[in-house]
Homo-oligomer: A and B are copies of this chain.
Amino acid sequence: MNHDAQQIPEFNDVILAHDRIRPFIHRTPVMTSSILNEMTGRELYFKCENFQKVGAFKYRGATNAVMSLTRDKLDAGVATHSSGNHAAALALAARTHGSMAWIVMPRTAPQVKIDAVKGYGARIVFCEPTLESRESTLEKVVKETGASFIHPFDNVNVVSGQGTAAKELLEDVPDLDAVITPVGGGGLLSGSAITCKHVRPAMNVFAAEPKNADDAYRSYKTNRLIPSENPQTIADGLLTSLSPMTFQIMREKVDDIHTATEESIIRSMMLIWERMKIVVEPSAVLPLAVLIEHGQAIKGQRMGLILSGGNVDFKKMVHLFGSISSVAETG
């Protein structure tokens, strides 16, 4: 792909995306927690995308991308490589709009993820668990079927769709000092930054990333796109690296980035489960984790935090519950 040819989305694209997808997505609630406010000394506003369809904000971008295709393109189907939330999101968005999704997944993907995508009616094409196999398999699928490739984040329509979460948050809580989002490939971060900097230029936009997968942090600080190499983090939705497009948006519009340790991530997840009584996945809690870990280094009193998703493999979580002391009993 020629990334340079890709247009950078503007706030108007987010407005158009919202108008397009509004009937098909959940308007997710903004929740608050007096206990977490006390703990952090701020006013926190949590945008709960764990309650979004398929359990993650990814449904916004996938729906906008699918709905931006012509009927002919829809008839030929859509395709992507992902074993995570984008795969499920694209599968459901395709089914909802009379299209077919082809999902390239490594043979080693957990059965529960394969079943979830199949449950949304997508066709799965297995590849070897290597970058080369993934890309060549996807290319083959696209060539054979004529399906449109919907990249998980390096796609203008996807980024515009992801921006609708911050747009709703600012509609509900207009006077925020800052918004913090997790960053993996940078789709949610980019869409949020485009939205926030247009709607309320004085506010800050911060990125939050696992210390163990800190490619965006290093790229941002060195001003040079550095891909991640074999990152290991419990926040498995944040393993991917930025694309040239999302890196460009980040450089232009994001005010700072902070990282959180694995222990902070686990503690923050437990805090949200125990205190707010909602289920969020590890990747979703990075904004709270950096806020707790970096305290006064992060400026702002009224903070919007995007809880990106709630798809948890409880069996995988089991060993974590023993690894830290319980943070609370009642909320």
Q: What is A's interface to B at a CB cutoff of 8 Å?
A: 29, 50-51, 54-56, 85, 88, 112-113, 115-116, 270, 273-274, 277-280, 310-315, 317-318, 321-322, 326, 328-331
B329 near A113 with CB under 8 A, answer: yes
B331 near A314 with CB under 8 A, answer: no
B330 near A116 with CB under 8 A, answer: yes
Complex Cα gap A54–B328 (Å): 11
B55 near A330 with CB under 8 A, answer: yes
Complex Cα gap A282–B329 (Å): 14
Between A and B, 25 residue pairs with Cβ closer than 8 Å are A51-B277, A55-B277, A55-B331, A56-B330, A85-B330, A113-B329, A116-B328, A116-B329, A116-B330, A273-B279, A273-B312, A274-B279, A274-B314, A277-B278, A277-B279, A278-B278, A278-B279, A279-B279, A310-B331, A313-B329, A314-B321, A314-B326, A315-B321, A315-B322, A318-B318
B326 near A112 with CB under 8 A, answer: yes
| Smallest CB-CB A-B distances: 3 pairs | A277-B310, A116-B329, A277-B279
Given contacts A55-B277, A278-B277, A279-B273, contact A313 B328 (CB under 8 A): no
A330 near B54 with CB under 8 A, answer: yes
Residues in chain B near residue A329, CB distance under 8 A: 88, 112-113, 115-116, 311, 313
- The residue from B51, B278, B322, B330 contacting A88, defined by CB atoms under 8 A apart: B330
